[in-house]
Each structure stands twice: as C-alpha cells, then as structure tokens.
C-alpha cells in the first residue's frame, strides 16, 4: 500500500464505453463512504465519466484527474486519462473503437499495477467479440491477466455471500470440455482454490466440494467415465494428504438441496455448470475473482449489458461488491503468506 495512505489503491478499468461499465462505476463510487476504505483510480477518460454523469443526473459526482503516475488524491475519485482522441459514445452499440479504448484502459492499469502504483484491480466489463483480435487474442480478462502477470495458471473463482465456485475449465466450447478434464488439471484447480481460501479468505482448513462432469456424476460409470477414471482418484489422493476434499457430486442435486452451504468452496467442471447455479443464487452481489495471480483482480459478475446501457437502469451492486472484495483480499494477503 502507498506510504501516503494506509488505504489500498485500487485501479478500476472502465470497460466498454458503450456498455454499463461507466454507469455502475459512477453509481458505486457516488457513495462517499467507499473513499474511507480505498483510493479509487478509474482508468478511462474524464470526458466519458462526464458524459454518463450528466446523462444520469449525478452532477454531484466529482473526480480528480491524475497528472503524474501514482500521484493520487486519497480522499477523491481519481481518473487516469488513457487516450486523447475523441471517441463517439453510443450506449448499447458494440463498437471496435470503444473496444480499443477498453483495451487501452486495461493495459494502462496493468502497467501501473506492475510498477507498484496500485495494490489491486477491478475490471469493468468488456465486449469479447469486438475486443478480440491481434492485440487481444484472448477469451477474456482471466486468460489475458494470467499471461500478462506470468502466473502460468489461475482459477476463475465466483464469489458471493456464502458461496465460492471455481472452474476447472473456463471459456471453451462444450464439445471440447472432456479433453480438458485431466487428473493434472483437476488437481491444480483444487489446489489453487485451497490456497486462495486460505490466503485470500482466511479459512485455515477449507472444506471443498467437487462436482462431477456427467449427469448424476456419471452414475458409477453408466453415463461417463471421467468421474471414475479422473475425478475420484484425484479426490482420494488429496484426502490421503489430509485435504478436506469431497465428491464428486451431481451438480443439479448438489445445489438444489443446499449442500453448497456446507462447504467453503465448490469446484465445477465447466463454465455453465458452475455459473448458472452461482448467478441464480448470487447475481446481485456476486463477483468474479481471479485466484492464483500475484496481484488481486476482481470484477462484477455481469457483462456489458448493452440492453441496459445509457438508461440509468443498471444495478451497481456487483461492481460495489467487487471493490469491497478486492479491499478485503488485499488486506488479508498483507497479513500472511501460505503455500500448499
């Protein structure tokens, strides 16, 4: 943390300018109480914030523009201008120009994080279709940041009140999922979750549930072999090492019966298996956390929501929670270092 303040300095990327990113950032940071918890540094453009501030009738929302790297106002919302060009804003309309701006804000924030000017990062939603290209050949933030920070591997971890769901596979086609369900990958993701639960969430002996890949968790091999040949052996091996790992559970019954409330974390095999349940249970307050990185990164658990952009209808709940969780993890990490 900065010497000028014991509050964490958190970079917030604006995301796609035509989505709801700027709106939910402004709404969340309009609550001045947040300034007592951390120093917000918004990466984007003062002109964009001014546009949405006026559109939403939040003229009382004020900010300070950063003139020199790392020189922030600790009792104010700070804005780092990441481009000089005039960018046309059309809320609700995907645009290559606004996608380029979103990438500029992300790159600038990552640069400042690496250089020690920030303690953590909250990323606004991007449009994966328009941003994807030669400069950003990734499926999303998670893959980009994992490579950018040299982490090798990371864990997409959805965090809600009393619910944490990690993914063995993330943004890949459903037809390719089985080929990624290997003993090495399943064990790695479980270990990343255990480390994060200890180091980031201060749970000394985490209890983790692992879901099966197939319906009814394979039904003893009748509906698939992955549970018998891959997932169970990993769970059994980790148990012999004193880990509190259980499963594999059938995903539908596991969530429907409320079993998730008995565990500190849940490992799902693929994106929709974990996120359908998570967003049903924690959509307003849920966030996305990238575990396993050397830096803290969170984001709201929603996308650009073009259908809501510019209408002053988007809820800032998930963005605000992403800021809170980033603060919590930064402070927890500062207290301890754990290896598993």
The stretch 120-149 carries a mean pLDDT of 94
Query: What is the phi/psi pair of residue 118, to 5°?
Result: -130, 160
Give the distance, in angstroms, between the CA of residue 34 and the centroid of all CA atoms in the same chain. Answer: 19
Task: Give the pLDDT of residue 3.
Answer: 46
Residue 339: pLDDT over 60: no
Q: Per residue in 7-22, pLDDT tens?
A: 999 999 999 999 999 9
Angle, alpha carbons 88-92-174 (nearest 5°):
125
Q: Give the pair of three-digit tokens for residue 174.
A: 């459903």
Per the document, the length of the chain is: 340
Ranges for all domains in the chain classified under CATH 3.40.718.10:
1-151+295-314+322-335, 153-292
Residue 302: pLDDT over 90: yes
Predicted structure pTM score: 0.93
> Exposure of 98 by Cβ count < 10 A (0-12 exposed, 13-18 middle, 19+ buried)?
buried
Rounded to whole angstroms, the Cα distance separating 317 from 313 reads 12
Task: Give the pLDDT of residue 337.
Answer: 59
- Given pLDDT bands bounded at 50, 70 and 90, which one contains residue 340? very low
Q: Per residue in 163-179, pLDDT tens?
A: 999 999 998 999 999 99
H-helix or E-strand spanning residue 43: strand 39-44
18 against 6, higher pLDDT = 18
Domain 153-292 has CATH 3.40.718.10: yes
CATH class of segment(s) 1-151+295-314+322-335: alpha beta
Task: Give the pLDDT of residue 6.
Answer: 81
> Exposure of 294 by Cβ count < 10 A (0-12 exposed, 13-18 middle, 19+ buried)?
exposed
Task: Give the pLDDT of residue 283.
Answer: 73
Task: Give the pLDDT of residue 213.
Answer: 97
Half-sphere exposure of 283 (CA within 13 A, CB side): 8
Angle, alpha carbons 49-143-318 (nearest 5°):
45
Mean pLDDT of the chain: 94
Number of H helices, E strands in the chain: 12, 12
């Amino acid at each position: 943390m900065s010497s000028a303040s014991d509050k964490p300095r958190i970079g917030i990327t604006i995301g796609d300018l035509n989505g709801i990113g700027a709106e939910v950032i402004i709404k969340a940071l309009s609550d001045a109480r947040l300034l007592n918890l951390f120093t917000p540094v918004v990466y984007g453009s003062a002109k964009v914030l001014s546009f949405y501030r006026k559109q939403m009738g939040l003229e009382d929302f004020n900010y300070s523009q950063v003139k020199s790297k790392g020189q922030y106002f600790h009792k104010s919302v700070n804005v780092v201008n990441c481009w000089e060009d005039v960018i046309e804003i059309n809320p609700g309309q995907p645009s290559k120009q606004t996608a380029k701006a979103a990438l500029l804000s992300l790159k600038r924030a990552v640069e400042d994080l690496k250089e020690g000017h920030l303690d953590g990062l909250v990323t606004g939603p991007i449009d994966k279709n328009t941003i994807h290209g030669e400069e950003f050949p990734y499926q999303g933030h998670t893959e980009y940041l994992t490579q950018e920070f040299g982490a090798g591997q990371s864990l997409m971890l959805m965090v809600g009140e009393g619910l944490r769901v990690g993914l063995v596979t993330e943004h890949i086609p459903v037809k390719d999922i089985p080929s990624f369900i290997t003993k090495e990958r399943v064990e790695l993701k479980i270990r990343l979750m255990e480390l994060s639960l200890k180091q980031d969430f201060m749970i000394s002996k985490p209890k983790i549930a692992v879901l099966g890949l197939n319906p009814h968790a394979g039904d003893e091999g009748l509906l698939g072999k992955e549970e018998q040949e891959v997932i169970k052996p990993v769970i059994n091996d980790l148990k012999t090492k004193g880990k509190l790992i259980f499963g594999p559970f059938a995903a539908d019954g596991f969530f429907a019966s409320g079993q998730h409330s008995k565990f500190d974390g849940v490992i799902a095999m693929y994106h929709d298996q974990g996120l359908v349940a998570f967003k049903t249970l924690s959509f307003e307050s849920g966030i996305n956390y990238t575990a396993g990185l050397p830096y803290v990164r969170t984001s709201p658990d929603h996308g650009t929501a073009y259908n809501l952009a510019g209408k002053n209808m988007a809820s800032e709940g998930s963005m605000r929670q992403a800021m809170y969780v980033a603060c919590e993890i930064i402070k927890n990490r500062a207290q301890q270092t754990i290896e598993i």
